[in-house]
Structure 1
Amino acid sequence: MDARWRLLALTSIGAFMAPLDGSIVAVALPRIATALGLGYGPSLWVQAAYLLTMAVLLIPLGRWADRRGRLRSYLLGIALFTAGSLLAALARSGGMLIGGRVVQAVGAALLSATSAALVTAVFPPSERGRALGINVMAVYAGLSVGPPLGGFLVDRFGWPSLFLVNLPIGAGVLGWGLHLARSVKDAEAPVRGGDLPGSLLLGVGLLGLLIPPTFAAEWGWGDPRLVGLLVLGSLALAGFLFWERRAVSPLLDLDLLRNRVFTAGNLAAFLNYGALYAVGLLTAAHLQLVQGRSARVAGWILLGQPVVQAALSPLAGHLGDRLGARLLSSLGMGFTALGMGCLALLPAHPNLPLLIASLAVVGVGMAAFSAPNTSAVMGSVARERLGVAAAVLATMRVTGMAFSVALLGGLAAQGLGSGGWKALVRGGDPSLALVFANGYRAAMTAGALLALLGAWASLARPRRDPGVTSSS
């Protein structure tokens, strides 16, 4: 097999691991909350800590990977992700579990910062969309396998098995990657030293802006802690931009932001994931806590969205090579808004085929958006900036995910009040289930509006994307 296709296969297996872990955990959160006695905020932090850590580290680690070698950095990411999975499986408290998730996130940040850059570097523009479509298909395959596998594992073996399943996959990928590294030249870009002040300012800024929505449902938006964090985050991001304009070796080359394809594609990615990432998390909770279904059945129902995504992503990548990302990605965001609008209109105990069909429409939208948008963004930058470009795109994606969990999760729980989540997962109070069902509809409505904003951002890019081949 050609070395570039072996490299694509390696990065695709790694791309399978992180979403597999995320979708497995989403189905099992009510069970984990019961086992460890977690309230709503700590339950969200099982996911949010993973996403926030990734968001803070992606750009610094993308730059580090450009200097140290992307393939070596990718393999280090596999090792850390596997080690974090073991730590999470051994956790006996919420704090220990969140700590394991943070270690997982450091590894996942290295994977996300390098995967698209490795693929983009070895495939020509005429094949880039197809290759990235296959890579994206692996992501959605992980999302597809996660819900039913998670439901089966948590029902049969308990929640620690959700993390133990990563160990054989990680060990196998690491061994294969070390073997492949002997025959593949690992590209290193001539990038100068690091930017510690920029990294710290960016990290404080992202945390300051993303933590408040996570706790707003419990603390209230007027709480001084939330206001202080928002002010701190805003000042830190302003300081980051000020510093980057003057730094000798900036963390982020602000010239990239003058690239309309790059900027519009990243904004669209943020809004896309901000709209839909919490769909699986909240729908899994709705299926179990409102409709009274088991984790296993909930996992099978949630297959509607990721199966469609996995099936259509290679086709979407191929069409993106021919047609460009602008129209296809914008149409995808429109389908996402339609699907989430349908979810918002469903009653507390919906007709099951309608629920699955609504999730499938969301899957069509995600498939049409992701691969073409990624190909356009990565194809718009010079080769020596691929690592940073991939890291910026991944940061927008993961920040959107964290924003989705915080904002949509907060809307879903807005009426539960202090202690309401623990009472809901224990069961026995139908009024709390109804409150959560109403919050779920509000969250889906907000997600549909974010998706429409994402469609607008996608349409803002130039009509013809760089690197798009003609049909001849």
Structure 2
Amino acid sequence: MEYKNIVLFNVTIGSFMAVFDSNVVVISLPTIVNDLKTSTFDALWVLMGYILVLAVLLLAIGRLGDVYGRVRLYNLGFAVFTVGSLLCAVALNGLMLVIFRLVQGAGAALLFANSAAILTDAFPPNERGKAIGTNQVAGTAGSVLGLIAGGILTATPVIGWRAIFLVNVPIGVFATVWAYGELHELSTPLRGEKLDPLGNLTFAGGLTLFLLGLTLGALAGFDIGDYGLMLVGLLLLVAFVLVERRITNPMMDISLFKNRMFAGGILSNFLAALARGAVSLVLVFYFQGPLHLDALTAGVLLIPFSVAFVALGPVSGYLSDRYGARGLATVGLVISGIAFLWFATITVTTPYSQLLIPMVLAGIGSGMFVAPNIASIMNSVPPTRRGIASGMSSTLVSAGVLLSLGVSFAIMATSVPLPVLQSIFAGLPGGQAVDVGPFMNAIHEIFIIMGIASFAAVLPSSLRGGRFVEARVQAQDKLITSGREAPVVSGGE
């Protein structure tokens, strides 16, 4: 097998596993709440903690990949993810599960941070969109199977929800051995460059404190302590930006934002993640709460979104290789925005046939956006900056998803009394006796915000520069990979 295809196959397994475990947990959350007798707060952080570690570590690991080798860290990711999965399967309470999910998230961060850079290193410029699109299909396949498997595995006799983590172990062991045996570095590590511990601390502290304040306040009613946590978090994030602008070797290279193609791609990526990050969570609780459906049925009903996403991934990646990313990505955002606003009209009596239309549209829009946008971002930087560019892109996506989850939870939690929310989150029969009208109003507000975020992403996406800019960047790529110097394109038509 040609080496680039070995890379694609292995990276595809990593993407599949990481996304699978995110979605399978969404479906299983109500069962986990009941079995572990845990709180809504712990249940939310079983989901958010995983993504938080991703967001916090992606930049640092992207930077470490540039310095010490992308493949080395990627291979380690399989081992850490597998161990984390095993630990999650034996958790005895909600707190233990949250902690072990952090370990699992660290493994996922090692896999995600450099995956796009490793693919970009292995494939020539005219094949990268297709490769990334194929990898996107694997991730989305993990999403689809996670939705189905979440219901099936959760119903496993004796083992129950723990099976959703145990299933990762044999796959992880195989992938770890294969990765260590077959993958090797194609880029030259920048051994002389320093790391950025101050940047890591300010970013991790800022994001964590802000989200803690947001979720704690939503549950118990916002007080001065919650607002204080959020304020300190925001101040630390401001400090992070100031630190990154002043040090020599930042983990987030702010200078890359001078490149219009990179800036447009990465800003639209963040806003798109903010728009779609909580879609599955909100719909799962809509199906299992007000509609009183079981986990397997809820997972199956969400499949059309993921199938549409899968179908568009490689097609949009291929088309972006030929015609450029700007048009495809921007149209995809518009379609997604329309779908989210459509979702804002659903009620407890809306037939599933009417839900299918916005669900498929959201999948089509997301599929049109993601692969071309990632290829555009990676094509906009020289080979030596792909690790940090990949980390920056993945970090902002994770931050967008986290904010989407946090804001959505806050809206739901402040709309209904806590016992009602706990009942809805657990999918309990008691939810049948309560007024779900306020909860449905909260869902409408959430989807309106999602639609606004998706339409807001249209502006940076459309201003990134067209196919001529991409061609110039790819020409520079060839010069750099052949050992000749070339500046980074800053934009223009």
Match of 1:417 in 2: 417
Match of 1:463 in 2: 466
User: Tell me, what secondary structure is at the counterpart of 2:252?
Assistant: coil
Alpha-carbon displacement from aligned partner over 1:332-379 (angstroms, at most 9, x marks no partner): 111111111221111113211221232111100110000000000111
Alpha-carbon displacement from aligned partner over 1:26-66 (angstroms, at most 9, x marks no partner): 11111111112233222211111111111111111111121
* Within-5 A mapping of 1:371-410: 371-410=371-410
CA distance in 2, matches of 1:191, 1:304: 49
Structure 1 residue 90 and structure 2 residue 93: aligned? no
User: Tell me, what secondary structure is at the counterpart of 2:278?
Assistant: helix
Match of 1:443 in 2: 446
Match of 1:205 in 2: 206
- 2:277 touches 2:401 (CA, 8 Å); kept in 1? yes
Relative distance call for 1:40 and 1:349 in structure 2 (3 A) is farther
Structure 1 stretches of 4+ with a deviation exceeding 4 A read 183-187
Relative distance call for 1:317 and 1:469 in structure 2 (3 A) is farther
Relative distance call for 1:235 and 1:184 in structure 2 (3 A) is closer
User: Tell me, what secondary structure is at the counterpart of 1:67?
Assistant: helix
Residue 167 of structure 2, aligned match among 165, 168, 173: 165
How much has 1:432 moved relative to structure 2?
A: 4.4
Alpha-carbon displacement from aligned partner over 1:259-278 (angstroms, at most 9, x marks no partner): 11111211111111111121
Question: What is the root-mean-square deviation of aligned Cα atoms in Å?
Answer: 1.8
* Within-5 A mapping of 1:214-363: 214-221=215-222, 223-363=223-363
For 1:379, the aligned partner's letter is N
- 1:288 touches 1:294 (CA, 8 Å); kept in 2? yes
Match of 1:55 in 2: 55
CA distance in 1, matches of 2:414, 2:322: 45
How much has 1:300 moved relative to structure 2?
A: 0.8
How much has 1:130 moved relative to structure 2?
A: 0.7
CA distance in 1, matches of 2:175, 2:264: 34
Alpha-carbon displacement from aligned partner over 1:400-420 (angstroms, at most 9, x marks no partner): 111111112222332223333
For 1:69, the aligned partner's letter is G
Alpha-carbon displacement from aligned partner over 1:43-92 (angstroms, at most 9, x marks no partner): 21111111111111111111112122111111111111111111111111
- Unaligned regions of 5+ residues in structure 2, if any? 474-493
User: Tell me, what secondary structure is at the counterpart of 2:249?
Assistant: coil
- 1:214 touches 1:410 (CA, 8 Å); kept in 2? yes
Match of 1:192 in 2: 193
How much has 1:468 moved relative to structure 2?
A: 4.3
Alpha-carbon displacement from aligned partner over 1:118-152 (angstroms, at most 9, x marks no partner): 00112111111111111111111111111111111
CA distance in 2, matches of 1:295, 1:191: 51
How much has 1:283 moved relative to structure 2?
A: 0.6
User: Tell me, what secondary structure is at the counterpart of 1:347?
Assistant: coil
How much has 1:242 moved relative to structure 2?
A: 2.4
CA distance in 1, matches of 2:468, 2:297: 43
Match of 1:151 in 2: 151
CA distance in 2, matches of 1:88, 1:80: 12
CA distance in 2, matches of 1:108, 1:43: 20
For 1:261, the aligned partner's letter is M
Match of 1:10 in 2: 10
User: Tell me, what secondary structure is at the counterpart of 1:267?
Assistant: helix
Match of 2:487 in 1: none
Alpha-carbon displacement from aligned partner over 1:100-120 (angstroms, at most 9, x marks no partner): 110011111111111000001
CA distance in 1, matches of 2:216, 2:462: 33
Match of 1:131 in 2: 131
How much has 1:185 moved relative to structure 2?
A: 4.9
* Within-5 A mapping of 1:14-25: 14-25=14-25
How much has 1:224 moved relative to structure 2?
A: 1.5
Match of 1:179 in 2: 181
- 1:325 touches 1:465 (CA, 8 Å); kept in 2? no
Farther off after superposition, 10-19 or 211-220: 211-220
CA distance in 2, matches of 1:36, 1:46: 12
* Equivalences, count: 468
How much has 1:190 moved relative to structure 2?
A: 4.2
Structure 1 residue 140 and structure 2 residue 124: aligned? no
CA distance in 1, matches of 2:43, 2:435: 17
CA distance in 2, matches of 1:102, 1:155: 25
Give the fraction of aligned pairs with identical amino acids, expressed as a percent: 34
CA distance in 1, matches of 2:6, 2:121: 14
CA distance in 1, matches of 2:468, 2:399: 25
Residue 433 of structure 1, aligned match among 419, 429, 436: 436
Relative distance call for 1:417 and 1:99 in structure 2 (3 A) is same
Report the TM-score, using the length of structure 1 for normalisation.
0.95
CA distance in 2, matches of 1:184, 1:245: 30
CA distance in 1, matches of 2:460, 2:185: 38
CA distance in 1, matches of 2:457, 2:246: 32
CA distance in 1, matches of 2:466, 2:215: 37
CA distance in 2, matches of 1:294, 1:357: 22
- Unaligned regions of 5+ residues in structure 1, if any? none
- 2:420 touches 2:434 (CA, 8 Å); kept in 1? no
How much has 1:244 moved relative to structure 2?
A: 2.5
Farther off after superposition, 187-196 or 369-378: 187-196
Farther off after superposition, 456-465 or 310-319: 456-465
CA distance in 1, matches of 2:439, 2:33: 16
How much has 1:172 moved relative to structure 2?
A: 1.3
- 2:90 touches 2:162 (CA, 8 Å); kept in 1? yes
Match of 2:27 in 1: 27
How much has 1:427 moved relative to structure 2?
A: 2.8
User: Tell me, what secondary structure is at the counterpart of 1:461?
Assistant: coil
Relative distance call for 1:216 and 1:466 in structure 2 (3 A) is farther
- 2:274 touches 2:403 (CA, 8 Å); kept in 1? yes
